[in-house]
Structure 1
Amino acid sequence: MVLALQVPPSVVSTVDGGYMFIYPNITTSQDPFSSRTGLYSVYCGYGSNIVREPVILYETILELNIVGLNCVISHSEVGQICLITIQPNSTDLIPIPVYIQVNYLSLGSVFDVKRVYATLPTIIGINQLTDPQFIINPLPFGGYFYSVVQTTNMSSDVWGFVLDENGKFNPWDLSYPTLSDSNASHQILTNNTLAMLQPIVGQNWSLITTNLYKIHKDNGYDNILIRNTTPGIHKTIPARDTNPLSITYTIPIVLSNGTITIFQSNGSSNPGIVRQTINGLNNQNYVTFDNDTVSIVIIESTFNNPGSTYYVMIENNFVSSLLYNEPLPGLSNKIVWSFTTLPEEEKEKGGGSKIKMFFDGIYGKVKLTKTGTAYFDTLDPNQINEFFNNLTQELANAVISKRISTNHRFVIDTSNIESTSNQYLLSIRIDKPQSASDRETKLIARDLDAMIRNMNITVLASESSSKYLEPLYGYVTIPRWYENFANIFQLILTVTFFLILTILCIISIHYDAKIEVKSGANSSVRKAFFHIMKSDIHKLTQSVNLCKGREGNEGREVNERRVVDEIKSNHFKVYLYGFNVLSFVLDILFAKVEAGSVKIIFFVSVFFVTVPYVIKLGYVVYIILSELVRKENSEDSVQLLDESGEKGDPEDLNDQQDGSQGQQDGSQGQQVKAKEKVTIKKWLEDSKKHKIVLVMLISLAGTDVGVLEIFNFQFCGYKFNIKLSEKFQQRVIIGEIIGIIIKNIPELVIRIYFLNRAIDFSYLSILTPLVSLIKILSLFVNFTKLMKIKNNGS
């Protein structure tokens, strides 16, 4: 489209960020009802290359002589205004131009057209001028700056006035006329200040300025559509204040697609540090409006720095006129709406002494989104380190603290069992303060949590690494061990478990003590109780002794006492069986609760729970089958006497030398009972329930082969009464050694690796390697017991 334009067109920006190409056009027509003169515009939206069809801004059937256009954004009304300067067909010596003002919206809709009436003051002396220029410009605070310029050689005489909507001329503060350089135009600033260049003399030049009369009241915001704000201009507020920001307009409004941004001044001319950014349409959880007032939700991290200056900038399209749905101008000057925080920050309640503050570092964790986790999985180790470094720097910039660091550890979040996303948790540390003036660590943690949870209105949403953080998770501090209720509860459960074992042990000892008193072996239950406990402790120490024991008469005397002591088998074995149960339960809990948080660990843990179980289960079946098929021989009677005496105490004779005849009768009674022992095959044939019990024991022995030693254990008179071979005990010990080698040693390595990767150490993650270590140490005891049995057999 080629246009033959009468005057230069006007290219003007619109409030919504677009542009308009405005041009006049005159056509010749014989139709008296057709338009001959018109003003047209072509709109182009922001970021768009689509050019729309021209729209009509003004048309008339008169053929007008348009000599000038002045189109600008209206700062005193809604939308844009375009002043058309028309040269009248007049016989006057100096004809005065006619002005028509067109009010239109961003998309070209016209809502008002009016003529601007201007009767020049007599002070100008218009008839005495030769070829003057008449210039009119819209003013930011309403009205127009009307000037008459008479050019003479290198200078110009200027008469200036402020013309209001009623045609009244308000004088300026300068003299009439005022000299100006003839080659320079005057400039009107956003605060209604006029600046003119005075005539240049040689190489010297100067400016003259004046504040023009404001038609509409200025509330201090350089925007007459804003009535007031909270907090007000240059006010002081408490640090960490979360009271809403409010803006009250002079007309009813609705929210639009622009943003309002809160900055913290960094002492330079650049925008500063972004603290919070809210879009009128996209962040409606943080912004509300009521007729003419907008309220902005403030998160606690926004004004977190005591004694700092903050300022607010509003985009033109943040709100729109309710009547016309036209974007309203905002605040683009950061020095207009500013305020400061009090120099002293409110201390965290219960923060403790300043000395404690220096030891107040905090470990915490953040969570990646599903998209962030998928991206993280594509990174190699060097890129992972770079990601961590970028993330800590972005978080440090966001909370304005240099104390954000990391140990580059990450785990899988296993808190949501139903989730299959396997999102990562990253370790983020807030280092302890270096000086008394540093902010409290807990306050920094709260700021970090608030900024991540409200990430879509903070700078974190636009950074390269922090944009992958999960807002719903925030920043979760890792409590110290003693501050974690779950850890304390698990510790109480563990202590309770061992207390129950202790009670069972005491009950068993007390029962045997009463039996010993009844048999006449001791005069009181109390003495018998401590005697049995002393004997059990001695047996524990003897079990790790490589010496074969005393020979000769002492050895024969011990053998004679073994039958009597059969009813007093080592009661402390209750702890052994309980410890085996605890170990197996911890293995399952570790695989289910902890192992899944570190890559590969879960599958390895499951492998070393199931595969060793199957191997040990097969070995246990082999032990039982060996006992079932073994042939009973004459040695069994001797074996029978030896079974309960393997752990006999030679000192028992010394303690009981003054025993009564009742003691001998009790011994004879026990010998009769001992001879009633049967083979495991015969025991199974006695009752169907015995087969169920054996299956249960074999299943439990798959966790620890040592469970089979329960055949030699009795509790309060209850016992299996089974006759077992010497090889049975050897095989059980060998099975325990095999279990430690194929299960406990790999488990300890796995759990040390887990601790090296984990970011949060629970009671369970500490207890499981400790139990594995104890099991491994028992390997030496088992080797000792095995050697002792072989030495005794030889």
Structure 2
Amino acid sequence: MRSNYFKMFTLFIIILLCIYPLSTITEIRTFSHIEEKDYGIETPPRVAEIKSYDNIVIIRIVRNDTSKSNSIEHCNYDTLFLRIINSDGTVIEKDIKLEGVQIFNFCSMKMGKDEAEDHLKYEIIGKDKLFVFYYNSTDDINVEGWGMTIDFDGKVIDKIPIGIWGYKGYRRLYRLRVPRIQISFNINKEKGFIIGYRPLQSYDFEWKQYKIELDGKFTILINGKIQLDSRAIVGYDSLIPTVNESYSFIYKLNNTFSNSLKDLIVAELIGYNKSDTAKVFLYRGNLLNRIPQPISCNIEYVGVGHSCSLPIKYNESNFNLKIGFLSSGATIAINITPITFPNNQIGFRSWKLQSLLFGGYMLTERAKIGMEHRLYTYIFAENGILGLEQPLLTNLNYAYAILPNNSILVAQQEYNNTWGFNMIKLPKFTNDNGYFNTNIESTYPEINSTIYPDIKNITINFYYPVILSDGRLSIFQIIDQRKFLRQSTSGIECILNNDDKKVIVNILNSTFSKSGGNFYIKIDNNFVKSRIYGESLLGIRENVWNFIIEDNKYSYTITSSTAVLLRLTVEGSNIFKNSSYDEKNQFFNSLLDELADAVQISRDRLSKNDKDQIDPKSNDGKLLININIEKTKDPYEKDVNSVIQDINYMMSNNDQTPIGKGKLIYLDSTYGFIPAPNYLQEYGPKLSGLIIILVLLVILYILANKREKKGHNIVIFQFSLFISDFVIDTLFIINNAKDVKMLYIPSLIFYTIPIGLNMASSFLIIAKENTRNEFLSWFTENNRLASIFTILAGIDIELLSVLHSNLAGFKYFQAPFSDSAKSIIFWVAFTNIFVEDIPQFIIQILFRMKSITFDIIPIITLISSAITLTINIISRSHQSINYIRDKRRTRRVFHS
């Protein structure tokens, strides 16, 4: 059955082409989709809207919900049916259940029409994001306008109340009484949109500006009100974006109180994110046989600025009054052009001239003849001469759209579960030299040319002198149908030549670092401006031209895998610190995805270590992160050294490279992309100084042994070790402990508690020993020495043992400690293993595991902790054995 309908549809197209010969049009192509799910014969898919974005077309399908529709009210299924048509003709079906959107948004009153538009509005704001406008109700009377951003799978990114109020109709469940709204997105969609409306029971026009951030979140910018009265004639598209990235509200006033000038065309200029408006009179005069219809306004693709058109009649003839003006409101041209229609018939109520990319205007008029729905299409040249008349059969929604490639899509009547459209090429009234841009004369590279990757600059030649502006020229590389930004340069960073008709864009070294594949240029509308008018040349459009870079293999060296260091900005560091574990992983996965795309290597070659730390050289708490780069043997992919060089180069030019976009903005470009340090190479010379000190201590020990073999000369090493370990631990606490935040408090605890324990014990021992005459006599004779060592014992209690040691040549060191004092020294020293040596060693191990980079102090601290712990364990073990042996010997003597 489905194939039969498809054959009937094809036969219908053939008949259509026979009735309307191709001599009146340049080209016509057909497209049909027959894979729709069968909802029943009474609910065929209807094409409601056609929109385009980039190189895709998005169709909204609606289906009549017979369970909720009747002779007065019409309801569609409460699903956003989107059909995404790719450039290769494939169709992706998205049936989105909009979260929290109530059923009345999908309904309307028929009002004598075959179908009526519902209250749901949407706009494409990115490759995978939509803006949706709908009404929400929390009671039985009032409704409020809301905005929502979603992805193509229906996941809600953000919601926000917009505050446009209406109410539900009495007795009619799905009837809404709401203002007629206008939504206009900025010429630069990154700047968001403006929404305007005339509140119920008011003539005023209110507007609000919003911005949609890159992550899909709403930002409220500003709002305002324009005071109007009943004389103001406001059209469906009176609120338009301007080429200077602001907005304008344009309306007509007939029968003003002035005796000489009764008719006015007024533009209220609304600045971006500015509440004040500026009123400009585009036209003052008396319109002959004025028609109470609103005007239609457009951006001028050929020429500069904007234009507004409205119909007038004189002596039974039709004329178009066209007013050309700039974004500033300055009028630059007023023309009255005769318009000739077949049989001189036109319904002025449908008057809406649409500016075409290559000059001229298109006017459409809807008509139903019998069971057929026709869209009468008239194409006029600038002088008003009719260039094309084409009555096209369409569906009952009269759905059509003009595409950026100068063609029009017209939806066809749907049959069963099949929908489709015709794509018709529109005539050109000006030559664009293949650039889809009437302002460009030529470029280097030329369209579809093949060049070598060592190209130094790109040039664009214009017909007329230009001035540079702050818009950007962006170079994209297409690999496996994915677009990769390679360079984005502001117009003010370029060079003018040839009497300001040539723009020269310097190419960065990283732009074509991965050769091969297709490239194309995107130029913002305000990249350059007309030198005469100072107005942006909007004719400059995305995909201005394509070219190919010749493919070359890399001459690379097989570099081993390398760890490199990156530093986050203050903002990036704060995001990381305040994120959960999963959010941190997601943050870094996104960052590495974008980094791999920026440098154009396989994503699996990049991985992040779990280590991160505060940069000790940073005063504002910036975090260091450690990334591993795996080596490659692929001759078409960069080696590790090339990756490091490219990223460093892009960081130094982050205002023009992908490093300055997306999550990569959180990388501190002033730090760079630095290989992790080789500590042996960096700190080897400094560590050699420790070896020299150790050699000197050995020499001193040997000399002491020669002088007094029975002396306890090992104290030389103990004393040196205790003092140096304390100094190093203190420096670590002061300079490095805060680098790993989680270890700072433990480091401080296990640094101060042993000092307090040792100090208290040493004073207790000295005080108790001074009660003995023998010790008091020695202490009095050596009070300075004893006081110094009592204080030093705060570092380590065993420094008191030095006073008791038989050190060669220093008899006065031999303090007469009692056995109880020696016992206290032993047990305190033994306790220090567990409250100082082991905890500090563990902290140093964790510090090494958690930190990415550190200076020589933590290295020496780790070595010192390891040596101290080892010596103390051996020493305490030896002392414990001797202590136990002495105890046993004492017991045997006592019992005998």
Q: Distance in 1 between matches of 2:870 and 2:408?
A: 91
Matched, 1:481 2:572: no
**Cα drift, residue 316 of structure 1:** 1.8
Map Cα deviations across residues 457-496 of structure 1 (whole Å, 9 max, x no partner): 6667674x6555444444443223345x2x2243223223
Aligned to 1:35: 261
Deviation at 1:110, TM superposition (A): 0.3
Residues in 2 aligned to 1:35 and 1:752: alpha-carbon distance in whole angstroms: 88
CA distance in 1, matches of 2:870, 2:564: 34
Tell me if structure 2 keeps the 8 A contact 1:261–1:277.
yes
Q: 1:143-174: CA deviations, max 9, x gaps?
A: 8999xxxxxxx99999999778xx9x9x99xx
Relative distance call for 1:601 and 1:111 in structure 2 (3 A) is same
1:111 aligned residue (311, 328, 332): 332
Q: 1:233-268 deviations in whole A, cap 9, x for unaligned?
A: 4455666x7956565555555555644433332443
1:361 corresponds, among 555, 562, 565, to 562
Structure 2 equivalent of residue 660 of structure 1: none
User: How many Å separate the matches in 1 of 2:377 and 2:595?
Assistant: 57
TM-aligned CA deviation for residue 423 of structure 1: 3.8
2:812 to 708, 713, 721: 721
Equivalent residues in 2 for 1:208-223 (5 A)?
212=428, 214=430, 218=432, 220-223=434-437
Q: Tell me how far apart the structure 2 counterparts of residues 599 and 159 of structure 1 sit (CA, whole Å).
A: 72
Is this contact kept in 2: 1:5–1:23, CA < 8 A? Answer: yes
The equivalent residue for 1:583 is 725
For 2:612, the aligned partner's letter is: F
Displacement after TM superposition at 1:80 (Å): 2.2
User: Which residue, 681, 702, 721 being the options, matches 2:777?
Assistant: 681
1:264 is aligned to 477
| Closer/same/farther in 2, CA of residues 625 and 299 from structure 1, 3 Å limit | farther
Matched, 1:784 2:869: no
Provide closer, same or farther for how the CA distance between residues 8 and 476 of structure 1 changes in structure 2, counting only shifts above 3 A.
closer
Amino acid at match of 2:845: I
Q: Do the aligned partners of 1:501 and 1:575 also contact (CA within 8 Å) in 2?
A: yes
Give the equivalent residue in structure 1 for 2:551: 343
Equivalent in 589, 593, 610 of residue 752 of structure 2: 610
Using the TM superposition, give the Cα deviation of residue 104 of structure 1 relative to its aligned residue in structure 2, in angstroms: 1.1
2: CA distance, partners of 1:619 / 1:468? 52
**d(CA) in 2 for partners of 1:578 and 1:374?**
43
- Residue 528 of structure 2 is aligned to residue 328 of structure 1: no
Evaluate the alpha carbon distance shift between residue 696 and residue 344 of structure 1 in structure 2; reply closer, same or farther with a 3 A threshold. Answer: farther
Give the aligned residue type for 1:262: I
Residue 613 of structure 1, CA deviation: 1.8
CA distance in 2, matches of 1:777, 1:192: 82
List aligned pairs for 1:539-578, cutoff 5 A.
Answer: 566=708, 569=711, 573-578=715-720
Q: Secondary structure at the match of 1:721?
A: helix
- 865, 880, 890: which one pairs with 1:772? 865
Residues 608 and 409 (structure 1), Cα distance of their counterparts in 2 relative to 1, 3 Å cut: same
Which whole-Å CA distance do the structure 2 matches of 1:211 and 1:701 have between them?
97
Partner residue of 2:794?
702
Please give the alpha-carbon distance, in whole angstroms, between the structure 1 residues aligned to 2:551 and 2:408. 39
Aligned partner of 2:609 among 394, 403, 407: 407
Alpha-carbon deviation of 1:313?
1.4
Tell me if 1:443 matches 2:537: no
TM-superposed CA distance for 1:391, in Å, is: 3.9
3-state DSSP of counterpart to 2:835: helix
Letter in 1 for 2:579: L
Number of residue equivalences = 632
C-alpha change, 1:396 and 1:86, in structure 2 (3 Å) is: same
Q: Residues 438 and 621 of structure 1: is their aligned pair in 2 closer, same or farther, counting only changes over 3 Å? A: same
Task: Give the deviation of 1:680 after TM superposition.
Answer: 7.8
In structure 2, how many angstroms separate the alpha carbons of the residues matched to 1:195 and 1:610? 79
The code of the aligned residue for 2:474 comes to T
SS at match of 2:610: coil
Give the CA deviation at 1:105: 0.9
Contact 1:262 1:277 in 2 (8 A): yes
Contact 1:6 1:66 in 2 (8 A): no
Decide whether the 8 Å contact of 2:432 with 2:439 is kept in 1.
Answer: no
- Kindly tell me: are residues 735 and 206 of structure 1, through their superposed partners in 2, closer, same or farther at Cα, counting changes over 3 Å? closer
Q: State the secondary structure of the residue aligned to 1:494.
A: helix
Q: Does the 8 Å CA contact 2:438/2:539 hold for their aligned counterparts?
A: no
Cα distance in 2 for partners of 1:54, 1:721 equals: 101
User: Gaps (5+ residues) in structure 1?
Assistant: 121-125, 147-153, 173-177, 198-203, 513-531, 533-564, 633-678
1:376 shift after superposition: 3.7
2: CA distance between counterparts of 1:789 and 1:427?
50
Structure 1 residues 591 and 156, CA, compared in 2 at 3 Å: closer, same or farther?
closer
Question: SS of the residue aligned with 1:774?
Answer: helix
Query: 1:88 & 1:233 partners in 2: Cα distance?
Result: 48
Secondary structure of residue in 2 paired with 1:261: strand
**How much does 1:743 deviate?**
1.2
Structure 1, residues 274-318: CA drift from partner, whole Å, max 9, x if none? 4455666xxx7x667786666667665544433233322122234
After superposition, give the CA deviation of every residue in 1:620-646 in whole Å (9 maximum; x if it has no partner): 3444456655444xxxxxxxxxxxxxx
Letter in structure 2 aligned against 1:705:
I
* Contact in 1 for aligned 2:302/2:357 (Cα 8 Å): yes
How far apart are 1:327 and its partner, in Å? 2.3
Q: Equivalences for 1:42-191 in 2 at 5 Å?
A: 55-60=280-285, 63=288, 72-82=298-308, 88-89=314-315, 101-114=322-335
Distance change >3 Å, CA 295–CA 630, structure 1 → 2: farther
Preserved contact between residue 367 and residue 474 of structure 1 (Cα < 8 Å): no
Deviation at 1:744, TM superposition (A): 0.5
Q: Classify 1:628/1:223 alpha carbon distance in 2 versus 1 (closer, same or farther; 3 Å).
A: same
The correspondence of residues 263-342 of structure 1 with structure 2, limited to 5 A, is 263-268=476-481, 272-277=483-488, 301-329=510-538, 331-334=540-543, 336-342=544-550
2:471–2:525 contact (8 Å) kept in structure 1: yes
Mapped to 2, the partners of 1:88 and 1:35 lie a distance apart of: 18
- Separation (CA, whole Å) in 2 of partners of 1:191 and 1:375: 42
Query: In 2, distance between residues paired with 1:232 and 1:444?
Result: 30
Secondary structure in 2 matching 1:705: coil
Q: Provide closer, same or farther for how the CA distance between residues 83 and 788 of structure 1 changes in structure 2, counting only shifts above 3 A.
A: closer
For residues 499 and 289 of structure 1, the distance between their equivalents in structure 2, rounded to whole angstroms, comes to 70
Name the SS of the counterpart of 1:103 in structure 2. Answer: strand
* Pairing of 1:191-230 with structure 2 (within 5 A): 212=428, 214=430, 218=432, 220-227=434-441, 229=443
SS in 2 for 1:311: strand
Secondary structure at 2:567's aligned position in 1?
Answer: strand
Q: Output the TM-score relative to the length of structure 2.
A: 0.57
Q: Conserved in 2, the CA contact under 8 Å of 1:366 and 1:428?
A: no
How far the C-alpha of 1:615 sits from its partner, in A, is: 1.9
**AA partner of residue 56 (structure 1):** F
For residue 577 of structure 1, report the CA deviation from its aligned partner. Answer: 3.1
Specify the code of the residue in structure 2 equivalent to 1:77: G
Q: Deviations over 1:693-746 (max 9, x none)?
A: 43333333332334345447799x852534443747945555543433331022
Deviation at 1:111, TM superposition (A): 2.0
- Unpaired stretches in structure 2, ≥5 consecutive residues: 1-228, 364-371, 412-419, 891-896
**Matched residue, 2:839:** 746
Greater share of residues in helix: 1
Q: Deviations over 1:116-160 (max 9, x none)?
A: 699x9xxxxx9xx97699x999775668999xxxxxxx9999999
Matched to 2:326, the amino acid is L
Deviation at 1:612, TM superposition (A): 0.9
Q: Which has the larger radius of gyration?
A: 1
Whole-angstrom CA distance in 2 between matches of 1:615 and 1:187: 84
How many angstroms apart in 2 are the aligned matches of 1:192 and 1:374? Answer: 48
| 8 Å Cα contact 2:232-2:254 kept in structure 1 | no
Alpha-carbon distance in 2 for matches of 1:736, 1:367? 44
* Distance in 2 of aligned mates of 1:456 and 1:471: 10
Amino acid at match of 1:344: N
Q: Alignment partner for residue 739 of structure 2, among 567, 572, 597?
A: 597
Distance 1:78 1:11 in 2: 19
Counterpart residue number, 1:652: none
Matched residue type, 1:223: N
Change in 2 beyond 3 A, CA 1:332/1:619: same
